[in-house]
Structure 1
Amino acid sequence: RYTAGCGRFRHQKEDITIEHHYRVEIFIAAIDSQQQELNRRFNEQAVELLTLSSSLDPRDSYRSFNIDNICKLVKKFYPEDFTEQEKIRLPYELQHYRLDIAQHPDLQNMSTISELCRGLTETGKAVTYPLIDRLIRLILTLPVSTATTERAFSAMNIVKTRLRSKMEDYFLTNCLIIYIEKEIAETFTLDSIIDDFSSMKERRVQFK
């Protein structure tokens, strides 16, 4: 045990154990910090989107499958990707889908939605259930779009520093593209860049 406080006020505070110090001031503080970061990155709308999307998860013999949640997912997050007639037809297609997929031998023991999408294509079920196939493909774009956004913001903090705060948007965009797609940019040679720049218009001075 040790006593918190110092000086003449030291005797006025209660003794605090080492366990209490690490539990309250370190462990719980770290958990709170992580929770705040998760709340900042995943707001209520994003959490609801991921929760509803999990209704198409094929794990455990499609145990999470829920027709109401899938229809809600379409109406709330993808209203422009489906016509009104397709929204009406979707519940009936989902009912047939649930009975058919559960009995199909090639669509069992899947663990991810991407595997399910590939399985639907290989078995021809993507043609039989076009609305579900379209919805699954829309869901699969979520990780890509999120990762791209995160990479863009991270790159912006690196490229646009305090000393470059007056950088114009057009120049900043070009710098970010080169930084984010560095794998592609590394395949370009200096000669190809010079040739491309030289061919834009006639110049008095030849680069080569």
Structure 2
Amino acid sequence: MDAMYIARKGRARHQQDQITVERHFRINIFYVAIDKQLHELNSRFSDRALELLTLTSVLEPKNGYKNFDCDQICTLVEKFYPSDFTSQEMVHLRYQLQHFIREAQNDGKLRNMSNLQDLCQYLAETGKLDVYFLFDRLIRLVLTLPVSTATSERAFSAMKLMKTRLRNKMDDKFLADSLVIYIEREISKSFSLDAIIDDFKSVKDRRVLFDL
């Protein structure tokens, strides 16, 4: 790796910098690849999404709740979940968080939790969700975040498949109905053709019988 790097034959005569093989792989290849990946990640997530993920990370119980911060958790609730908590509940949430972190530091099982899923399950099994019901509600809202994000991504991916150049004049209602069938195709497979015909017939009387 300490040897001098020599470019390929087509570029060797234009090479002016005398660099080592290690510097070539580190600067010209590794750093460039990392910069491209960071640029792609920064372009993929908006500032609001990054702020949401950053504030959500303070809820993680790893390392004995090292990142647990009551102020940032309350900021998370005020900015992203204002319709799920009343102003009075936001005040009580801060007190619940302060009592919870004190109990977690003295409770061995709570202190050794590794993720939010285990914490939510532990609160339900021990009945502590009745005490920390606002904190439990926030955890459940955060846990549903990946599911809602994945559903949105699936919807946009399905839209590209359904609304092609040949189907560009498809109206919004027909597109929405088609997307529901495509996205929830596992559920739609449970519907029989006879049941669909019966429901269609029950809407209103038809001149033609829909019999197979």
TM-score bracket, shorter-length normalisation: 0.7 to 0.9
TM-score, length-scaled by structure 1: 0.85
1:68 to 2:71 alignment: yes
**Residue 14 (structure 1) aligns with:** 15
Q: What are the residue-to-residue correspondences of 1:155-166 with 2, within 5 Å?
A: 155-166=158-169
**Residue 151 (structure 1) aligns with:** 154
1:134 to 2:137 alignment: yes
The alpha-carbon deviation at position 29 of structure 1 amounts to 4.7
The answer to whether the 8 A contact 2:7-2:15 is kept is no
Alpha-carbon distance in structure 2 between the residues aligned to 1:131 and 1:187: 38
1:92-111 CA distance string (max 9 Å, x none): 22111111123334434322
The alpha-carbon deviation at position 183 of structure 1 amounts to 0.6
Alpha-carbon distance in structure 1 between the residues aligned to 2:210 and 2:29: 61
Structure 2 counterpart of 1:175, one-letter code = S
**Residue 183 (structure 1) aligns with:** 186
Q: Mind listing any 5+ residue stretches in structure 1 that lack a counterpart?
A: none
**Distance 1:119-1:167 versus aligned 2 partners, 3 A rule:** same
The answer to whether the 8 A contact 1:58-1:112 is kept is yes
1:39-74 CA distance string (max 9 Å, x none): 222222211211111211112222221112112212
**Residue 59 (structure 2) aligns with:** 56
1:188 alignment partner, SS class: coil
The answer to whether the 8 A contact 1:59-1:109 is kept is yes
The alpha-carbon deviation at position 32 of structure 1 amounts to 3.6
1:112-159 CA distance string (max 9 Å, x none): 112211111111111111221121111112111111111101111111
Structure 1 counterpart of 2:15, one-letter code = E
The answer to whether the 8 A contact 2:61-2:114 is kept is yes
Alpha-carbon distance in structure 2 between the residues aligned to 1:77 and 1:113: 18
The answer to whether the 8 A contact 1:2-1:18 is kept is no
Q: Which moved more, 1:25-34 or 1:49-58?
A: 25-34
Alpha-carbon distance in structure 1 between the residues aligned to 2:75 and 2:168: 44
Q: Which moved more, 1:157-166 or 1:80-89?
A: 80-89
Correspondent of 1:172 among 170, 175, 180: 175
Q: What are the residue-to-residue correspondences of 1:194-205 with 2, within 5 Å?
A: 194-205=197-208
**Distance 1:24-1:104 versus aligned 2 partners, 3 A rule:** closer
Equivalences, count: 204
TM-score, length-scaled by structure 2: 0.83
Alpha-carbon distance in structure 2 between the residues aligned to 1:203 and 1:179: 28
The answer to whether the 8 A contact 1:3-1:15 is kept is no
> Identical aligned pairs, as a percentage?
54
The answer to whether the 8 A contact 1:4-1:15 is kept is no
**Residue 3 (structure 2) aligns with:** none
**Distance 1:105-1:23 versus aligned 2 partners, 3 A rule:** closer
Alpha-carbon distance in structure 2 between the residues aligned to 1:187 and 1:98: 46
Alpha-carbon distance in structure 1 between the residues aligned to 2:159 and 2:35: 27
RMSD between aligned residues: 2.6
Q: Mind listing any 5+ residue stretches in structure 2 that lack a counterpart?
A: 1-5
Structure 1 counterpart of 2:133, one-letter code = P
